[in-house]
Amino acid sequence: AEYVSLDAELGFVRDHFDVMAVLREVVAGMVEAMRERSPAAVELLEVQLPEVPAEIPWVHFSETGVDDVDLAPADERRLGEQYGEFVFVTGYPIAKRPFYTHPEPGRPEYSNSFDLLFRGLELVTGGQRLHRYQDYVAALDGHTESYEGYLETFRHGMPPHGGFAIGLERWLGRLLEVPNIRETTLFPRDLNRLSP
């Protein structure tokens, strides 16, 4: 798959809620920049810019009523209808997240991670990362050979950290309310088109 990812990593976080707070500021800043710098484009494309709330509501995965390890598109739409344009879903099952995701203290079956849903669709994934070498070894079940270069930095100490990734095409797709993400991709690829 081809996509543009806007990634941020932060050091010295307490947990994933610190990362969520920074993400809220980033999204609000992006909306404000569009409003201030590109009013003609916003008007031409008939973009309904969202109002980013001062505090985006959040719900823990265990409270979503979903029995699977992930949300289905219908679940995302339902949560969007229930909570509004923006909602964080926190605490995804650790089995669904990458090995470097920090488990939730006291409930290790869940993670200190989140998705930000925008208009009923996952827009951003993020969370708190592991930062201790021994936690990585345990998360990888001792099979560290393929990750030694990455893990070496953790032998020497890393601060608690976290991050997130915004899918640019998803963001544009929701802002423009297009029916297919291919319409926001510069050179979309599919089974019948591989170049350019």
**Helix extents (H) in 45-147:** 73-83, 133-139
SS3 110: strand
Per-residue pLDDT of the chain (196 residues; tens, 9 = 90+): 578 999 999 999 999 999 999 999 999 999 999 999 999 999 999 999 999 999 999 999 999 999 999 999 999 999 999 999 999 999 999 999 999 999 999 999 999 999 999 999 999 999 999 999 999 999 999 999 999 999 999 999 999 999 999 999 999 999 999 999 999 998 888 888 778 7
Give the number of other CB atoms < 10 A from CB of residue 143. Answer: 9
Which of these CATH numbers, 3.30.70.260, 3.30.930.10, 3.40.50.300, 3.30.420.40, describes 17-179?
3.30.930.10
SS3 145: helix
User: What is the value of pTM for the model shown?
Assistant: 0.94
Average pLDDT, whole number, for the chain? 96
Contacts of 59 (CB under 8 A, 6+ apart): 79, 83, 87, 88, 89, 90
